[in-house]
């Protein structure tokens, strides 16, 4: 019978997983085991380091709640979420606006708002108009597209961090017949990732600043088109180049303007961005969304 060595144990595990009926699960788990073992062999992981890892992942799981998803935060800070986004974009039927992180603060149940309404309540920050069009890749307007917007307060906190029972700084709009969207908000602020959890412990141990540049999240959907999860990043933020979760990207940086002659509301501070969506493919139905609502993740099956 068997007596394993550090080199033969991997094959023994793969062999025991050989009967997995789902071909994709089998492929993913075999790759996960090979890379996990390669990692442990490369660094010659010791028992105490292994234990430290077990403790760390346990803490990450236990920090998760209906209002917080620490594993998504871990994935974000390790660049995995952005890698998955980037690969997802390469599978689109057409070259559309790029994906950016959904992040842990999206909620399904945001208030439905009318064209031009303000998403922020009781915030003294500077009002900014968000405007532009949602089109296909050839510039044809997508009417009645759903445009969900969410962001921090002008002080850098999401509603879920302030008071989960009071939705704020988020709303769901729809485009008009010309594919136009119009929303009002306040200028969001860059912020630190949650500092009271194990991921923040990791970030501090790595001497990383832990900050995200100021940004506004968008989730845009139109029938027949691939759902777009993205975000716009405010030009001038000092952390555009070293976003702790690798979300900021040059093509998603927007400039706030004070007197844009094209802005639908003359004289307003405004941000203009036109989104393009790729036609959906059959495969899109299976690949899902880049991110998740923690309250859904923790819901009973």
- Positions in 239-268 near a copy of itself (CB under 8 A): 240-242, 244, 246, 248-251, 253
**Dihedral sign, CA of 276, 281, 285, 288?**
negative
Q: How far is the CB of 62 from a copy of itself (least distance, A)?
A: 5
Residue 144 binds a copy of itself, judged by CB under 8 A? no
Nearest to a copy of itself of 31, 114 (CB atom): 31
Query: Half-sphere exposure of 88 toward its Cβ, with a 13 Å CA cutoff?
Result: 26
Residue 236 binds a copy of itself, judged by CB under 8 A? no
Which of 23, 42, 122, 282 forms a contact with a copy of itself (CB under 8 A)?
A: 42
The window from 116-124, 143-151, 182-190, 205-213 that contacts a copy of itself (CB under 8 A) reads 205-213
Q: How far is the CB of 266 from a copy of itself (least distance, A)?
A: 31
Question: CA-CA distance, 57 to 51, in Å (whole number)?
Answer: 10
Residue 151 binds a copy of itself, judged by CB under 8 A? no
Which of 143, 208, 239, 269 forms a contact with a copy of itself (CB under 8 A)?
A: 208
Size of the site for a copy of itself (CB under 8 A): 91
Residue 273 binds a copy of itself, judged by CB under 8 A? no
The window from 60-68, 112-120, 173-181, 258-266 that contacts a copy of itself (CB under 8 A) reads 60-68
Residue 203 near residue 193, CB atoms below 8 Å: yes
List the interface residues with a copy of itself, window 76-135 (CB under 8 A): 78-88, 90
Which of 47, 124, 224, 261 forms a contact with a copy of itself (CB under 8 A)?
A: 47
Question: CA-CA distance, 170 to 283, in Å (whole number)?
Answer: 30
Question: CA-CA distance, 5 to 247, in Å (whole number)?
Answer: 41
Residue 4 binds a copy of itself, judged by CB under 8 A? yes
The window from 51-59, 185-193, 258-266, 272-280 that contacts a copy of itself (CB under 8 A) reads 51-59
Query: Half-sphere exposure of 279 toward its Cβ, with a 13 Å CA cutoff?
Result: 8
The window from 68-76, 158-166, 181-189, 256-264 that contacts a copy of itself (CB under 8 A) reads 68-76
For residue 261, give Cα distances in angstroms to 89, 139, 207, 258: 33, 21, 44, 9
Which of 129, 216, 231, 290 forms a contact with a copy of itself (CB under 8 A)?
A: 290
The window from 54-62, 151-159, 180-188, 271-279 that contacts a copy of itself (CB under 8 A) reads 54-62
Nearest to a copy of itself of 113, 214 (CB atom): 214
Q: How far is the CB of 81 from a copy of itself (least distance, A)?
A: 7
Nearest to a copy of itself of 2, 223 (CB atom): 2
């Amino acid at each position: 019978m068997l007596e394993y060595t550090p080199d033969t144990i991997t094959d023994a595990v793969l062999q025991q997983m050989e009967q997995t009926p789902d071909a994709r699960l089998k492929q993913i788990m075999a790759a996960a085991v090979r890379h996990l073992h390669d990692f442990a062999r490369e660094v010659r992981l010791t028992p105490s380091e292994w234990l430290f890892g077990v403790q760390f992942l346990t803490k990450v799981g236990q920090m998760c709640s209906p209002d917080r998803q620490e594993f998504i935060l871990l994935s974000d800070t390790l660049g995995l979420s952005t890698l998955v986004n980037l690969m997802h974009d390469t599978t689109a039927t057409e070259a559309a606006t790029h994906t950016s992180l959904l992040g842990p603060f999206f909620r399904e149940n945001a208030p439905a708002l009318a064209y031009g309404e303000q998403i922020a309540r009781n915030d003294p920050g500077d009002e900014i108009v968000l405007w532009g069009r949602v089109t296909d890749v050839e510039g044809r307007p997508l009417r009645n597209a759903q445009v969900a917007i969410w962001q921090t307060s002008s002080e850098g906190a999401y509603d879920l961090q302030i008071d989960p029972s009071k939705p704020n700084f988020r709303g769901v709009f729809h485009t008009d017949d010309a594919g136009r969207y119009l929303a009002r908000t306040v200028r969001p602020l860059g912020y630190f990732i949650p500092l009271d959890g194990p991921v923040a412990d990791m970030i501090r141990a790595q001497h990383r600043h832990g900050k995200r540049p100021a940004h506004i999240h968008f989730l845009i959907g139109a029938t027949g088109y691939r759902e777009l999860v993205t975000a716009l990043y405010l030009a001038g933020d000092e952390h555009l180049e070293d976003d702790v979760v690798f979300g900021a990207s040059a093509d998603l940086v927007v400039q706030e303007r004070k007197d844009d002659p094209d802005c639908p509301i003359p004289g307003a501070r405004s941000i203009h961005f036109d989104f393009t969506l790729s036609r959906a493919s059959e495969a899109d139905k299976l690949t899902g969304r880049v991110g998740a609502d923690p309250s859904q993740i923790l819901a009973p099956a």
